[in-house]
């Protein structure tokens, strides 16, 4: 029996490591394309910073990759186990299915404990550190913001365009001053050439732009009023964002409870915080739910093909996450008890898994 348990555990662990690696890579790639790639292309961050950012993102995506990997691993392993008639041989030896899968269920409990630690405390801290790293890197490399033939919008209220940038000299300079909403043009300043210098002291990153032969057009109630400026100095400020309270999605379990008590003391509805607390706890049990339903589904599928197992896993993951998304979308409507909705996939998947396991164990 120990040999059989060891064999089955090795099979599941091998598939688990492979699938978790694939899902982690795919989820990391999505974040890289969305947030990091643009900064890297514009040379606003270094490769070392990108490596740091990826390291901080791994715990965040691992929370999703582990349950998905557990589901896929059980589907693939038990699908092959059934297709190769190994399950038939085991049952002919008088070993029940429930006895056979005991180490896999223990493994799912251990993985859920890992998910709980990462999801409740480690991943939120890494996510906050990641956001701060990306913004800090972009601000510190202010010189990389001044790209030619690019509309630069980081220096509010101006949108800036340089036709050419050579060292600290620029040509064909356009400065568009916008209103606070960013939708209405207030003035346009143009100069055929200019120079710039940086001032990184203080909390604001400053660029002093010296323009030559500049002209200015002020827009007032749709009327354009041109004027000649000649030589003009314009100070462009890139103000660092003040440190702000992390969003509810970025808080760990302890911080969420502190936030809940704070809102409760002020008489503010705590439903969004309640939903986040319950989502973090409920999602920590996803590995158990996926293992319970993945084992009988893999046996019933009775296939060796990897593509079938992965397709089934993706469908089950989408069904599971749809409940979480529904609960979070209703976080402002306490009458629907959204903090209970996020628990539904665990209850449904575990109940179905237990029923299907019993039926498969009886040979039905």
Task: Please tell me the predicted confidence (pLDDT) of residue 110.
Answer: 94
Decide which of 209, 239, 269 is a domain's last residue: 239
Q: Are 248 and 256 in contact (CB under 8 A)?
A: yes
Distance of CA 345 to the CA centre of its chain: 21
Q: Are 319 and 345 in contact (CB under 8 A)?
A: yes
Decide which of 239, 261, 293 is a domain's last residue: 239
Decide which of 221, 239, 257 is a domain's last residue: 239
- Kindly state whether residues 126 and 228 are assigned to the same domain: no
Q: 76 CB contacts (<8 Å, ≥6 apart)?
A: 15, 19, 298, 306, 309, 310
Provide DSSP, 110-164.
HHHHHHHHIIIIIHHHHHHHHHHHHHHHHHHTGGGG--TTSEE-SSTTEEEEEEE
Q: Are 75 and 297 in contact (CB under 8 A)?
A: yes
Distance of CA 209 to the CA centre of its chain: 38
- Kindly state whether residues 196 and 294 are assigned to the same domain: no
- Kindly state whether residues 210 and 258 are assigned to the same domain: no
- Kindly state whether residues 328 and 348 are assigned to the same domain: yes
Q: Are 31 and 58 in contact (CB under 8 A)?
A: no
Specify the DSSP element, H or E, that contains 100. Answer: helix 97-100
Q: Is the peptide bond before 157 cis (omega within 30 degrees of 0)?
A: yes
- Kindly state whether residues 252 and 307 are assigned to the same domain: yes
- Kindly state whether residues 124 and 9 are assigned to the same domain: yes
Angle between helices 47-83 and 102-117 (to 10 degrees): 160
- Kindly state whether residues 171 and 129 are assigned to the same domain: no
Residue of 294, 360, 304 lying closest to 97 (CA atoms):
360
- Kindly state whether residues 166 and 122 are assigned to the same domain: no
Domain that holds residue 302: 2-139+248-361
Tens digits of pLDDT across the chain (364 residues):
778 888 888 888 998 999 999 889 888 887 776 667 666 665 666 777 778 888 888 888 888 899 989 988 888 888 888 777 777 787 777 777 788 888 999 999 999 999 999 988 888 888 888 877 876 765 555 555 677 777 777 777 888 888 888 878 889 999 888 887 777 888 899 999 999 887 755 555 678 889 999 998 888 776 788 888 888 888 887 655 544 556 777 788 888 888 888 888 877 878 888 888 888 898 889 999 999 888 888 887 665 555 665 677 778 888 888 888 888 788 878 888 888 898 998 998 889 888 888 888 776 4
pTM of the model: 0.68
Q: What are the CA-CA distances from residue 98 to residues 94, 356, 358, 362, 364 (Å)? A: 12, 12, 8, 10, 15
Residue position matching structure tokens 């292309």: 41
- Kindly state whether residues 262 and 227 are assigned to the same domain: no
Q: Are 273 and 265 in contact (CB under 8 A)?
A: no
Phi and psi at 234, nearest 5°, equal -125, 130
C-alpha–C-alpha distance, residues 67 and 292, integer Å:
12
Residue of 208, 205, 206, 211 lying closest to 196 (CA atoms):
208
Residue position matching structure tokens 């008088």: 94
Alpha-helical regions (H) of 32-46: 37-41
| Contacts of 182-187 spanning 24+ positions with Cβ under 8 A | 182/157, 185/219, 186/157, 186/218, 186/219, 187/216, 187/217, 187/218, 187/219
Domains contained in the chain, number: 2
- Kindly state whether residues 134 and 255 are assigned to the same domain: yes
């Amino acid at each position: 029996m120990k040999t059989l348990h060891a064999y089955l555990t090795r099979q599941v662990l091998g598939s688990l490591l492979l699938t978790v690696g694939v899902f982690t890579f795919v989820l990391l790639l999505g974040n890289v394309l969305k947030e990091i790639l643009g900064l890297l292309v514009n040379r606003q961050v270094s490769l070392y910073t990108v490596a740091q950012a990826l390291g901080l993102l791994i715990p965040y995506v691992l929370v999703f990759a582990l349950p998905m990997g557990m589901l896929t691993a059980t589907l693939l392993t038990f699908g092959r186990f059934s297709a190769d008639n190994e399950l038939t041989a085991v049952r002919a030896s008088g070993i029940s299915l429930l006895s056979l899968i005991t180490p896999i269920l223990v493994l799912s409990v251990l993985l859920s404990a890992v998910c709980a630690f990462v999801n409740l405390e480690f991943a939120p801290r890494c996510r906050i550190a990641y956001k701060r790293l990306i913004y800090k890197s972009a601000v510190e490399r202010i010189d990389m913001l001044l790209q030619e033939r690019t509309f630069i919008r980081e220096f509010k209220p101006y949108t800036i365009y340089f036709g050419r940038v050579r060292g600290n000299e620029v040509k064909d300079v356009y400065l568009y001053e916008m209103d606070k909403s960013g939708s209405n043009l207030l003035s346009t300043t143009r100069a055929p050439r200019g120079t710039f210098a940086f001032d990184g002291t203080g909390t604001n990153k400053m660029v002093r732009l010296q323009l030559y032969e500049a002209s200015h057009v002020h827009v007032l109630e749709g009327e354009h009023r041109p004027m000649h400026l000649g030589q003009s100095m314009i100070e462009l400020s890139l103000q660092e964002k003040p440190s702000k309270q992390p969003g509810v999605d970025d808080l760990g379990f302890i911080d969420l409870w502190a936030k809940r008590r704070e809102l409760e003391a002020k008489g503010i509805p705590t439903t969004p915080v309640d939903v986040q607390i319950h989502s973090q706890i409920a999602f920590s049990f996803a590995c158990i739910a996926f293992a319970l339903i993945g084992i009988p589904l893999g046996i019933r599928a009775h296939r060796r093909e990897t593509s079938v197992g992965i397709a089934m896993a993706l469908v089950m993951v989408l069904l599971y996450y749809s409940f979480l998304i529904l609960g979070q979308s209703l976080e402002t409507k306490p009458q629907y008890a959204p903090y209970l909705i996020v628990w539904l996939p665990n209850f449904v998947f575990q109940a179905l898994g237990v029923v299907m396991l019993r039926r498969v164990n009886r040979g039905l």
